[in-house]
Amino acid sequence: MSGTPGVEREAVMVRVLFFGPLAESLGEREVEIALEFGTTITGLVERLGFQDLVSKGLRVAFNDEIQNNFDIIIPDSSEIAFLPPVSGG
């Protein structure tokens, strides 16, 4: 990135939150990740290797809203949270 005014940014920074057993297994609750401009939620899920977890019920919240549409392009300064499935008794 050159920092030249008016030039499209090549990367965005996002805050990624992990909850429940996922946070415990990763040893992290929160990280900042640089993503290529135009990355979708699907792209982030794939980068983190969470495809199997999502198919097993892991939920994704984009800026505090649960998402089913993973084709959303993630803009700079977004927050993505990975939430374990809710179990009841």
> Is residue 77 assigned to a domain?
yes
> Is residue 76 assigned to a domain?
yes
> Is residue 86 assigned to a domain?
yes
pLDDT tens figures, 19-78: 999 999 899 999 999 999 999 999 999 999 999 999 999 999 999 999 999 999 999 999
Contact 41, 74 (CB under 8 A): yes
The SS3 assignment for 77 reads: coil
> 48 lies in which domain range?
22-29+37-52+72-89
Decide: residue 43, CB within 10 A, 0-12 exposed, 13-18 middle, 19+ buried. middle
> Greatest CA separation found in the chain?
56
The tally of domains found in the chain comes to: 1
